[in-house]
A and B are shown apart, each in its own frame.
Chain A
C-alpha cells in the first residue's frame, strides 16, 4: 500500500510495490480514458528550486491527464526562497494548500528535510547529483516493458557516473534483482561515488567492472544507459570542456552491440548520442520519456490512494 507514502530514493518501494506500479501504468496506457478524472479536485505542487523542463512537464502532464490541478514554481528566485525561507517553512506552508508535492532541489537530501515536516506525500524529482527516483521508475518501467523483467541483465552505464544521479538511483534499484551485472564506463574523473561502490556494489556482492573504453563493453551489454556530462555539476569549466565529448554513441559503435541491446538515456541529450542512432530500433530514449509520464500517473494515483472504478471492479 503506497497511500500517504513518500518517494525520496529508489529503494523506498519494494520490488512487489514497483511491480504494482508498473502494472497500473500499463493499464493507464491501455485505457487512459478510465483515469482522466481520477484526480479531480486534487492539487499537486511542483516545487522546482532548480530548472527542469522534462521532469516538471512530465509531472504536470501526468496530473492534468488524471484530471487534477497543478500549482508551483519553476525556479528558486521567483519563490519565497529568494527571501531566505527555509525548506521546512516552505513545505509547511505549501502543505496547507495541496494534496502532494513534487520537489527538485540542488542540495542533496533536501526532499528528506521536506518529508520530515509534513504528512503529505513528497516526491523527490531530483536532489543535486544524488537521487532521481522517478527517473528510476521510468527506466525500470521501460526495461520491464521491453525485456519483461530484470534478472540476468548486463547493464552498461556510460558517461558521467559521478554526478549522474539517475545512474546512482538505477544501479541501486537494479541491484535488487537476480544476477544483474554492471559495466561502468567513464573517465577516471567521473567514476561512481564511493557510497555507490562500497554500500551497494561491494556490500551486495554485485558483479561490476569499471572501464574507460566503451567499445570493449558494447558487445556484451543487454542495456546501455548513456548519460550527459552535466556542465552545471562542475566547479571548473575547463574540466567540463575536456570531458564533455569523451563518449559519443554513433552508428558505427551500435554495430558492435547486440541486436536487442536497449539504449536508454534520461535526456536531455547533448552530443553523447549521435542523432543517426535515433532511427535505430534499439534507441528507446524517447519511448522512455513517454513511459515516464505514465509511470508518474501511476505514482500519483498510488500515493494519493485513489482507486479508479476500473481497478475496484477488477479487485
Chain B
C-alpha cells in the first residue's frame, strides 16, 4: 500500500483510465510546474478495476474540455482546506480549440502558425473528431498520436 498525502488546496483528477494519466500529464506540461504534483498509476478502483489519479496543489484553473477530450471518464475534485468543494464529471467536448494538433502534413495548420487548431466531435461513442480545416478524422480513444498544445499555465 502506498500513501499519498492529501492536498490542502488544488485539484484531484480521479478515475482516470489506467494508462491515460501520463497523457494527461503530457497535456498539463507537468515538467514546468512549480507546484506539488502527485501521480498515482494503476491504483485499485471499485468502479474501473484500475485507475490513475493526479493531484495538483494550488491549481484550480484547469481546462475541463481538454481533460474531457483526453479521458471523459475522469472526475475533477476541487479541494479547499482539505475538503472537496466541488466534484465535476467530465464530458466529451463537442468542439476542441487549441488542445491537440492536426497530424495531417497536408493540413494548413502545419504551416500557418497563428491559425487556431479546431476540431469538431463527429462520433461521441468512438470519440472521433474532424479537423475543421482539412477534415482529417482522429479518434481520441486508444492510442492516438496527436501532439498536444501545452497550456503552460504553471508559468505563473
A86 pairs with B113, CB closer than 8 A? yes
Which parts of B120-142 form the interface with A (CB within 8 Å)?
A: 122-123, 130-137
Verify if A296 is at the interface (C-beta below 8 Å from B). Answer: no
- Given A108-B104, A108-B106, A199-B122, also A87-B134 (CB < 8 A): no
For A112, give the chain B residue with the smallest CB separation: B133
Report, as a range, how many residues of chain B touch the other chain.
20 to 34
B134 pairs with A130, CB closer than 8 A? yes
A108 pairs with B114, CB closer than 8 A? no
B137 pairs with A109, CB closer than 8 A? no
Which parts of B71-125 form the interface with A (CB within 8 Å)?
A: 104, 106-115, 122-123
**A85-114 toward B: CB 8 Å interface, digit per residue (1/0)?**
011100000000000000001111110110
B135 pairs with A107, CB closer than 8 A? no
Verify if A194 is at the interface (C-beta below 8 Å from B). Answer: yes
- Given A194-B137, A199-B122, A199-B130, also A113-B108 (CB < 8 A): yes
**Please, how many angstroms separate the alpha-carbon atoms of A87 and B110 in the complex?**
12
Q: How many Å from the CB of A68 to the closest CB on chain B?
A: 28
What total of chain A residues lie within 8 Å of the partner, measured CB to CB? 21
**Please, how many angstroms separate the alpha-carbon atoms of A106 and B134 in the complex?**
11
Contact residue among B106, B112, B122, B134 (Cβ-Cβ distance under 8 Å from A86): B112
Total A-B Cβ pairs within 8 A: 62
Q: How many Å from the CB of A198 to the closest CB on chain B?
A: 7
A107 pairs with B137, CB closer than 8 A? no
B122 pairs with A109, CB closer than 8 A? no
Among A87, A108, A129, A195, max chain B CB count under 10 A is at A108
Q: How many Å from the CB of A39 to the closest CB on chain B?
A: 29
Residues of the B chain whose Cβ atoms lie less than 8 Å from the Cβ of A107:
106-108, 110-112
For A127, give the chain B residue with the smallest CB separation: B108
A113 pairs with B106, CB closer than 8 A? no
**Please, how many angstroms separate the alpha-carbon atoms of A165 and B77 in the complex?**
47
Residues of the A chain whose Cβ atoms lie less than 8 Å from the Cβ of B133:
108-110, 112-113
A87 pairs with B112, CB closer than 8 A? yes
**Please, how many angstroms separate the alpha-carbon atoms of A105 and B133 in the complex?**
13
Interface residues of A (CB under 8 A from B): 86-88, 105-110, 112-113, 116, 127-130, 193-195, 198-199
Q: List 21 A-B contacts (CB under 8 A).
A: A87-B111, A88-B112, A88-B114, A88-B115, A106-B106, A108-B107, A108-B133, A109-B107, A109-B108, A109-B131, A109-B133, A113-B112, A116-B115, A127-B108, A128-B106, A130-B134, A130-B135, A193-B135, A194-B137, A198-B122, A199-B130
Instruction: Please give me the 6 A-B residue pairs with the lowest Cβ-Cβ distance, nearest first.
Output: A109-B133, A108-B134, A107-B108, A109-B108, A110-B108, A195-B135
